[in-house]
Amino acid sequence: MSRTKGELRNPPARDHWERVRERLRRRKLFTFALVVLAFFYGTAIYAPLIANDRPYALEAIDYGGYEAARKKIYIATLGLDNVLEKTPSQYMEGRTTGSTQSYGDALWSEHQALVNAVATMKRYLPEEDHPPLTDFVDDVARAVELGVDERRQEASRLVFELRADAKELRTRYRAARPDQDPSTSGVLLRPDRSYPLFASLTAVEVFFMVLWWFVVLSLGRSFFARPSKRIRPARRWGWVLPLGTSLLCGAVWWMSIGADETSYYPEYKSGLAEGDLVAQFVVFPPIAMGFAETSTELNHPPSWHASPVTAEEEVGSAGSRGNSHFRPLLGTDGLGRDLLVRSIYGARISLSVGLVSTAILAVIGVLAGALAGYFGGRVDLLISRLIEVVICFPVFFLILGVVVFVGQSLLTIMIVVGLFRWTGIARLTRAEFLRLKELDFVVAAKALGLSTPRILLRHMLPNAISPLLVAATFSVAAGLSIESALSFLGFGVREPIPSWGGLVRSSLNPAHWWIQVFPGLLIFMTVLCYNLVGDAIRDAMDPRLPR
């Protein structure tokens, strides 16, 4: 390798990666692409916080839910009575075909319904009204235990008495609606505060929300912070902190809040509009719409686009929920679903398929290439032949066929998109390993008696990583375009889950140009950014290029 003048003037203290980073830092487009990608991934990960039909926080009385729960008390008691009227064997015979519910299960499920109903009621009832309900639930639990213990007669008698109690509770806790009719008698409910949006987040989502910050910060530190003068210590355990923290947050979430669906009220917006839900205050996300939520504005052009909504478009009746000031920034599709919201959620599918499929193909490709390159001989022959065969297939045909026949789930798509594209990386790895295995450090590692996996993964792989990194970056872009093409042809994830390619497909009528333009533009931008990043890394790692 020839040295350029600049390198002679600088002290040769910096290592290879330091130099690579320095070069990358100078590429403005690389920075730009990285920021855009971070933004896209952030949007995808934080999608539920940006666009959702559930509010962040809500202090409200849910009259609809309360009334349903109040009636449920008596209905569930009746149900219990019904089950207890039969002997276990009678019950087993009378089951609907296909049911695997045992006698005890039937009893406990009625009990559970009751517990849920009472929990809902307690949220809105003043404290002093709680004891009768608690007592009632305890009595029911005792009855159920008796019933499960084969003391059916006693249980039945107890439940018969409880029926009267349930009836009494039902009348006693009728809700008063001072907002509608000041004269109604009944219990005055108090508003309950809940955080429905946060309650609906899953542990996995929380994991990625935390991890995203670590990734962004570490990328930022790598490329934009001043390099320190000190010699950087090897960070072998650098991944532990981010991954550990994210996992911990996910786990804590899973154990505390994650499974809490009791505060779920499915239709917050329609509830508020129709008066079933009376809110003291309510905070919705910036875009108060879910990704599958329909509206009456079918095929509405973008709100900034000056085009009068024709009468024909007004007529649609796909959903009758009131979105009084609904302004679709990117327009809506044929079911009146907001394209912006769907694009935000679609990013999750599209971006994750690109990444995961690349991870899969990298693992397969590196393994196959490393084995072929290191061992040579028969192994090499076999793997090279396999590569030759796989290369012959137009990848897209193969992927299409398998996805269609195996099933259009997200997991299948990720695996299949990864599975048939490993040949590029395998060839690169093979070439690199062929070169490396003759070098002194590998011979030395062998002479030291290190195990083969250790030599391959710890000693050779890090020295072969540059071309692989570049290839992997490009392959994320390729995976993303393959996934979007799949979805565009209608073989992607199934409706109503959005993915960018599938969104383009939702109307091919040229009059609805916004549907074809915007999601496609997002795909284009993401692919472009990945290509920019890959290009920049390749140039930065190329030892022959001056500068």
Partner 1 sequence: MIPTLIGITVLTFAVMQLVPGDPADLRFFAEDSPLDTGNIEQGLAQFRRENLLDQPLWRQYLHYVGPFDLSERGHTWFGGSGEAPWGGLLLGDLGREFFRPHVTILDELLRRLRVTVPLALCALFLSYLLALPLGIYSVMRQGSFFDVAAGVIVFLLYSVPMFWAALMLQLTFGSNWLGLLPVIGLADKDAAELSTFGQFTDVLAHLILPVATLTVGGFAYLSRQMRAGLLDVIREDYIRTARAKGLSERKVVLKHGLRNSLGPVLTLFATIMPALIGGSVIVESVFDLPGIGSYAYYGLMQRDYFVVMGTTTFSAMITLVCILVTDLAYAWIDPRIRYE
Q: Which is nearer to partner 1, 79 or 346 (CB)?
A: 346
Of 195-203, 283-291, 427-435, 504-512, the window that binds partner 1 (rule: CB under 8 A) is 504-512
Q: Which is nearer to partner 1, 68 or 485 (CB)?
A: 485
The C-alpha atoms of residue 232 and residue 221 are separated, in whole angstroms, by 13
Give the per-residue contact string, 88-127, with partner 1 (x = CB under 8 A; - = no).
Answer: ----------------------------------------
How buried is residue 84: exposed, middle or buried, by Cβ count under 10 Å (0-12/13-18/19+)? Answer: buried
| Among the listed residues 386, 431, 450, 469, the single contact to partner 1 using CB under 8 A | 386
Write the DSSP string, 5-63.
HHHHHS-TTS-HHHHHHHHHHH-HHHHHHHHHHHHHHHHHHTHHHHB-SS-SEEEEEEH
By CB under 8 A, tell whether 544 contacts partner 1.
yes
Q: Which is nearer to partner 1, 194 or 423 (CB)?
A: 423
- The conformational region for residue 490 under phi > 0 = left, psi -120 to 50 = alpha, else beta, is left
**In Å, how far are 248, 249, 261 from 253, measured between CA atoms?**
8, 6, 13
Write the DSSP string, 261-280.
-TT--TTHHHHHHHTSEEEE
Count the neighbouring beta carbons within 10 Å of the beta carbon of residue 449. 6
By CB under 8 A, tell whether 434 contacts partner 1.
no
Q: Is the dihedral angle over the CA atoms 414, 420, 424, 430 positive or is it negative?
A: positive
By CB under 8 A, tell whether 527 contacts partner 1.
yes
By CB under 8 A, tell whether 508 contacts partner 1.
yes
Of 12-20, 227-235, 387-395, 449-457, the window that binds partner 1 (rule: CB under 8 A) is 387-395
Closest CA to 39 of 275, 215, 253: 215
| DSSP-H helix ranges across 149-254 | 152-172, 196-200, 203-224, 240-253
By CB under 8 A, tell whether 219 contacts partner 1.
no
Shortest distance (Å) from residue 347 CB to partner 1: 15
Query: What is the token pair recorded at 303?
Result: 């709100």
Count the neighbouring beta carbons within 10 Å of the beta carbon of residue 36. 16
Of 58-66, 221-229, 328-336, 519-527, the window that binds partner 1 (rule: CB under 8 A) is 519-527
Shortest distance (Å) from residue 530 CB to partner 1: 8
The C-alpha atoms of residue 61 and residue 59 are separated, in whole angstroms, by 7
Give the per-residue contact string, 404-433, with partner 1 (x = CB under 8 A; - = no).
Answer: xxxx--------------------------
Q: Which residue has the tokens 């249980």?
A: 155
By CB under 8 A, tell whether 385 contacts partner 1.
yes
Q: What are phi and psi of 173, to 5 degrees?
A: -100, 25
Shortest distance (Å) from residue 371 CB to partner 1: 18
Query: What is the token pair recorded at 385?
Result: 């032949």
Query: What is the token pair recorded at 451?
Result: 């195990």
Q: Which is nearer to partner 1, 94 or 401 (CB)?
A: 401
Of 106-114, 194-202, 256-264, 486-494, the window that binds partner 1 (rule: CB under 8 A) is 486-494
| Among the listed residues 180, 388, 446, 454, the single contact to partner 1 using CB under 8 A | 388
| Among the listed residues 26, 401, 443, 451, the single contact to partner 1 using CB under 8 A | 401
Of 88-96, 153-161, 189-197, 384-392, the window that binds partner 1 (rule: CB under 8 A) is 384-392
By CB under 8 A, tell whether 495 contacts partner 1.
no
The C-alpha atoms of residue 112 and residue 365 are separated, in whole angstroms, by 51
Q: Is the dihedral angle over the CA atoms 488, 492, 496, 500 positive or is it negative?
A: negative
By CB under 8 A, tell whether 491 contacts partner 1.
yes
Shortest distance (Å) from residue 165 CB to partner 1: 48
Q: Which is nearer to partner 1, 68 or 398 (CB)?
A: 398
Shortest distance (Å) from residue 307 CB to partner 1: 13
| Among the listed residues 475, 484, 499, 506, the single contact to partner 1 using CB under 8 A | 484
Q: Which is nearer to partner 1, 264 or 393 (CB)?
A: 393
Can you state the angle between helices 16-26 and 28-45, rounded to 10 degrees?
90
By CB under 8 A, tell whether 513 contacts partner 1.
yes
| Among the listed residues 343, 481, 499, 506, the single contact to partner 1 using CB under 8 A | 481
Q: Which is nearer to partner 1, 210 or 493 (CB)?
A: 493
By CB under 8 A, tell whether 528 contacts partner 1.
yes
Of 72-80, 136-144, 310-318, 530-538, the window that binds partner 1 (rule: CB under 8 A) is 530-538
Q: Which is nearer to partner 1, 3 or 235 (CB)?
A: 3
Q: Please name the amino acid found at residue 413.
A: I
Query: What is the token pair recorded at 525?
Result: 């931008």
132-166 as b/e, with b when 16 or more CB fall inside 10 Å?
ebeebbebbeebbebbbeeebeebbebbeebeebb
In contact, 337 and 290? CB cutoff 8 Å:
no
The C-alpha atoms of residue 47 and residue 36 are separated, in whole angstroms, by 16
Residues 55-84 that bind partner 1 (CB under 8 A): none
Count of positions on this chain that bind partner 1 (CB under 8 A): 45
| Among the listed residues 122, 396, 431, 497, the single contact to partner 1 using CB under 8 A | 396
By CB under 8 A, tell whether 450 contacts partner 1.
no
By CB under 8 A, tell whether 380 contacts partner 1.
no
Residue numbers of the site for partner 1 (CB under 8 A)?
A: 385-386, 388-398, 400-402, 404-407, 477, 481, 484-485, 488-491, 501, 504, 508, 510-511, 513, 516-517, 520, 523-524, 527-528, 531-532, 535, 544
